[in-house]
Amino acid sequence: MKTLIIVFSQSGYTRTAAECIRDGLFSRQGECDLVDLADVDKGLFSEYDLIGLGCPVYFYKEPQHVSAFINNLPDLTGMHWFVFCSHGSIMGITLHSMSEGLKKKGAVITGYYDMFADACAPFALQPTYTTGHPDEIDKEEARSFGRELADRIPRIINGETTLIPACDPVDEQWVREAEILSPEIIKFIIPPYTINQETCIKCHTCEKVCPVNGFDIEATPPRVQDPCIGCTYCVMACPTCSIEADWSMMNAHNKEHYAQMRKWLEHLAAQGKFRWLMDPDSVDFEDYMFLQHKRRIKAKLEAAAEK
């Protein structure tokens, strides 16, 4: 059996999940290719017996460009796919949404996997409720998922369709949240970015990490956030902290949002589906990630200046 895993990952957590799933598959069937979403060749799909697609969760669902990728796929009738994701606390409708999009193209969805991961957005808190994930237990669960897929897929291909799993039901709360957070609303709530020309070193990191080519630093004036899907990764990736924004509106809702997250994680923990690796009472609602990022950059620049 030959498998292809397609992954979109920024902070590296979804890639970790992909690599662990690949290791599990490889241990059973010996041939598994891993490719970034931006580099995938759709013309080669017919060469594979199984294809996986993975991404992080943005606003309770898959990123907009991942949805666009699925919508633009060719006919997949008869092809076997699986979906996976990484997320900080709430997966929302992600796996259900991805699988339904692939089913519309004719794909047979043969597996679902999600991995808890740490926060990485500038408006998130650090430590956050999922800090410490993924740990070795999470990684081994991903490998086990890969091994189980490798054992099950040949039987499905040979006609044992009863082995095709169903996606877990989605809580209506997250269906509503995902519907509310439409691309238009996301564009509204993500603050406008500006480039600090005094500190920008034109390293083009923002251009490289943006999944939708939303930056052109050499333009006059620089093209910023056009387009933008709200991933915010450029802000945290900038080595001089030169992408600036007013996060006060999003931070104003942190306590309410984190109370919702904590309630959900406690619900999952009671079901044995989540493990606390940090003290949830240790979260500092005044010290969000962008402030920490600015302090780290400042310390680094001051240290370099002293040499």
* pLDDT for the residue numbered 2: 94
Joined tokens for residue 240 = 């001089």
**Alpha-helical regions (H) of the chain:** 13-29, 64-71, 94-104, 136-157, 172-180, 183-189, 205-209, 233-237, 248-251, 254-270, 289-306
What band does 30 get if pLDDT is binned at 50, 70 and 90? confident
pLDDT at 135 over 90: yes
What band does 33 get if pLDDT is binned at 50, 70 and 90? very high
C-alpha–C-alpha distance, residues 147 and 25, integer Å: 5
* pLDDT for the residue numbered 77: 96
Q: Give mean pLDDT, residues 23-43.
A: 94
Residues 8-17 have pLDDT tens digits of 999 999 999 9
pLDDT at 253 over 90: no
Q: Please list, in sequence order, all residues whose beta carbon lies within 8 angstroms of the beta carbon of residue 216, skipping any fewer than 6 positions away.
A: 207, 222, 223
pTM: 0.95
Contact 57, 91 (CB under 8 A): yes
The percentage of residues in the chain with a pLDDT greater than 90, rounded to a whole number, is: 91
Stretch (H or E) spanning 164? none
C-alpha–C-alpha distance, residues 131 and 127, integer Å: 6
What band does 29 get if pLDDT is binned at 50, 70 and 90? confident
* pLDDT for the residue numbered 37: 98
Q: Give mean pLDDT, residues 45-58.
A: 97
Residues 88-129 have pLDDT tens digits of 989 999 999 999 999 999 999 999 999 999 988 999 999 999
Query: Could you give all domains of the chain from N- to C-terminal order, each with its CATH number?
Result: 3-168 (3.40.50.360), 174-306 (no CATH)
What band does 250 get if pLDDT is binned at 50, 70 and 90? confident
What band does 79 get if pLDDT is binned at 50, 70 and 90? very high
Q: Give mean pLDDT, residues 42-66.
A: 96
What band does 249 get if pLDDT is binned at 50, 70 and 90? confident
Task: Quote the mean pLDDT of the chain.
Answer: 95
Residues 145-189 have pLDDT tens digits of 999 999 999 999 999 999 999 999 999 999 999 999 999 999 999
Q: Give mean pLDDT, residues 229-249.
A: 94
The string of DSSP codes covering 86-153 is EESS--TTHHHHHHHHHHHTTPEEEEEEEEE----STTSBSS-TTTT-S-HHHHHHHHHHHHHHHHHH
pLDDT at 232 over 90: yes
